[in-house]
Homo-oligomer: A and B are copies of this chain.
Amino acid sequence: MEFLVRFETNLPETMSAEEIAGLKSAERERAQELRQSGILKKLWRVPGRKATVGLWAAVDATELHAALASLPQFAWMDATVEPLATHPQEK
């Protein structure tokens, strides 16, 4: 089942440049793994924002939540999940 996931990440002002760099690198690596397992299908940047729209696929919302919660920046992400049904024209 596909989901449209929108998240915005705001790291705290007190985090050092080094911590941020480490976190972002870990984030990219974990995202790469989620792509390879087929859960993360596509990401877009929301122009002008520290935000992302993505197309995700998972068996259900429980598997999707586990994937999102495995992202290193999850603690600072504000995410919303929208379920998608197959459109008749796509069948």
Binding site for B on A (CB under 8 A): 1-5, 7, 12-14, 28, 31-32, 42-49, 52-53, 59-62, 64-65, 68, 77-90
Question: In the complex this chain forms, how many copies of it are found?
Answer: 10
CB <8 Å contact, B48 and A68: yes
Asked if B31 contacts A47 (CB within 8 A), the reply is: no
Give me 17 other A-B pairs in contact (C-beta within 8 A), A1-B61, A47-B83, A47-B85 excluded: A1-B62, A7-B48, A43-B89, A44-B85, A44-B90, A45-B65, A45-B86, A45-B87, A46-B84, A47-B62, A49-B80, A52-B87, A60-B60, A61-B84, A61-B85, A62-B85, A65-B85
Q: Give Cα distance in the complex from A44 to B49, angstroms.
A: 20
